[in-house]
Amino acid sequence: MKKFNNILIDYNKNITVPVDPVCGIEMDESLALVHEHKGKKYYFCCNGCRKIFIKKPKKYKNKS
């Protein structure tokens, strides 16, 4: 698997999986909370992780 723009890509299965930049959890894109920051979409497993990201986006945006 390779990570690209906050999404894990499994080239063997052709499946993309969003990854929460705060806690690192992989999730189903249809269940993820989405937040856009400076034109880029970030996916979160819960509102708590989304709130943490919003407070300090610079800390987490490079983890994607």
Mapping DSSP onto H, E and C, the string for 26-50 reads ECCCCCCEEEEECCEEEEECCHHHH
Residue 49 pLDDT > 90: yes
Residue 8 pLDDT > 90: no
Cα–Cα distance between 4 and 52 in angstroms, integer?
Answer: 22
Domain locations in the chain?
A: 2-61
In eight-state DSSP terms, residue 24 is -
**Cβ-based neighbours of 48, under 8 Å, separated by 6 or more:** none
Rounded average pLDDT over 36-63: 92
pLDDT band at 13 (very low <50, low <70, confident <90, very high): low
Q: What is the pLDDT of residue 14?
A: 62
Residue 52 pLDDT > 80: yes
Answering whether pTM is above 0.85, one says no
Q: Which of 51, 20, 59 is nearest to 8 (CA)?
A: 20
